Amino acid sequence: MRHENVSKKIVRKCGVELQCIRKYRMKWLPILCCITLAASCVVTPPRSSLHGQSGAISGSESTGAERRILTGWGGGNAGDVVSRAAEVGFKELVVHHDNATNFTHFIELGKQYGIGIYAWLYLGDIPAWKKAYPNTTPPLQMMNDNEEEALKRIKADKTPGKSGYQFGGEPVNEVEVLETPLLCFHDPRVIEVFKKQIDEMLAFPGVKGVAFDYIGYQNYRCCRCPISQMQLETYQKQHPELSRETVLERFSFETLVDFNNCLSRYARAVKSDAKVITHVYPVYLPEPLYGNHLDLDVCGQTAAWFFAPFWSVEKIKAYSSIIAREAKRYHARQNGAALIGYYNAPDKYRVKSKERLVAELKAILDGGCLRVHVCSFNDVLKTTDAAEVFCNFFGKSDRQSTKKE
Ligand SMILES: [Zn+2]
């Protein structure tokens, strides 16, 4: 069942059976192998010393533990997961709102256990498009021939681990693209789809806010559909001094940021106390850690990706330091969060060991990130070792249920 769950998530990533996996929403973050960025960044000193321990770090230590916030992305049945998530130390969960009864139950149980519940919004949500525009073909992002060729190759690869494919994370191979089709947000109708979704999401009493996902480009750089190309031409005319290459990059980046910020602003207009969080994914290759440009409450950026080759602890710490230190550079409201990927599907992927998880979480905290996002929380809850590790970092020291009576 565990494998089935993970498999479904993977499948969703692959863009197949997209509508069949509503129960378990996942998230994969990525970051491009920004060797230059990682190598050049200045790592701040650890804000808390976690040394000399085997990973069992008590929540009562003076390590800022009381200020740590663990957020989980996933799904499942509220009655099965909320109380267990509370025991592990989750303070926030991100789940889909499509099953109104289950989502309401999440909110109710979340209130009892002190867990804030976010509704999951993702750019590949074709059903959301069809709901808003029932008789109109969804405007999907388009790629060039080389990228389409890569997509075919990735889809055809059925070997375990898919030859190092990173599913939207920083690529290991020369050309990678996301298997999941994404809507083109340059089409003005697309933002209307998600505004309607935000209306729906924030109409649930007690919901904490909205969580963005998959807001990016399928080829990790730009969209090549006719609408995007037309807008690109206009942008070029407005900036005749810039090269074609620079125009494409600037246009793609600015519109990506604007789309996020427009939706974030809309959510606050609908409900003034709604929180907006995101997971920057798929990777945006020209600037993997661009998340601080987003005007929202918490920006989760990948610090430790899901798949082998696992990131070095040096890279994890360096990314976490940037995520924490640079979060408020452009927007005062923003807080940075480090995303750690965790799946348990040993038949498909190398599973992170307990020691590996401890090392990754220590590196994140040493980098200064007290907010940690993990996907999927379902895999953490189902794996005793993983649950124990997260509990040691984020749970209450007495390990008692946090249910509020
Ligand atoms: Zn497009």
Note the Cα 99 to chain centre separation in Å: 21
Over residues 82-101, mean pLDDT: 98
Provide the residue type at 349 as one letter. Answer: Y
> Is the pLDDT confidence value at 172 over 70?
yes
> Is the pLDDT confidence value at 342 over 70?
yes
Centroid of ligand 1 to alpha carbon of 203 (angstroms): 30
Predicted pLDDT at 397:
60
Closest C-alpha to 22, from 97, 123, 107, 115: 97
Centroid of ligand 1 to alpha carbon of 351 (angstroms): 36
The pLDDT mean for the chain works out to 86
% of the chain with per-residue pLDDT over 70: 82
Centroid of ligand 1 to alpha carbon of 109 (angstroms): 40
Question: Any idea which of 13-22, 299-308, 385-394 has the lowest mean pLDDT?
Answer: 13-22
> Is the pLDDT confidence value at 6 over 50?
no
Over residues 161-184, mean pLDDT: 96
Predicted pLDDT at 21:
29
> Is the pLDDT confidence value at 44 over 60?
no
Predicted model pTM: 0.84
Over residues 341-360, mean pLDDT: 95
Centroid of ligand 1 to alpha carbon of 150 (angstroms): 19
Residue 351 — very low, low, confident or very high, per pLDDT cuts 50/70/90?
very high
Predicted pLDDT at 93:
98
Give, for 122, the enclosing helix (H) or strand (E): strand 116-122
Predicted pLDDT at 65:
77
- Sequence-distant (6+) residues with CB within 8 A of 37 are 288, 289, 322
Q: Which residues have beta carbons under 5 A from ligand 1 (an ion)?
A: 184, 186, 223, 225, 228
Centroid of ligand 1 to alpha carbon of 14 (angstroms): 20
Predicted pLDDT at 403:
47
Centroid of ligand 1 to alpha carbon of 182 (angstroms): 9
Centroid of ligand 1 to alpha carbon of 166 (angstroms): 23
φ and ψ of 224, to 5 deg: -110, 25
Closest C-alpha to 395, from 75, 103, 89: 89
> Is the pLDDT confidence value at 404 over 70?
no
Of residues 382 and 12, more confidently modeled: 382
Centroid of ligand 1 to alpha carbon of 114 (angstroms): 41
Centroid of ligand 1 to alpha carbon of 263 (angstroms): 18
> Is the pLDDT confidence value at 31 over 60?
no
Question: Any idea which of 194-198, 255-259, 348-352 has the lowest mean pLDDT?
Answer: 348-352
Over residues 342-362, mean pLDDT: 95
Centroid of ligand 1 to alpha carbon of 217 (angstroms): 9
Centroid of ligand 1 to alpha carbon of 227 (angstroms): 5
> Is the pLDDT confidence value at 58 over 70?
no
Predicted pLDDT at 396:
78
Instruction: Summarize pLDDT for 265-318 with one digit per residue, the tens.
Output: 999 999 999 999 999 999 999 999 999 999 999 999 999 999 999 999 999 999
- Sequence-distant (6+) residues with CB within 8 A of 124 are 15, 18, 180, 181, 182, 183, 214
The full set of domains in the chain, from first to last, is: 2-394 (3.20.20.80)
> Is the pLDDT confidence value at 400 over 70?
no
Taken in order 48, 49, 53, 55, is the CA torsion positive or negative?
A: positive
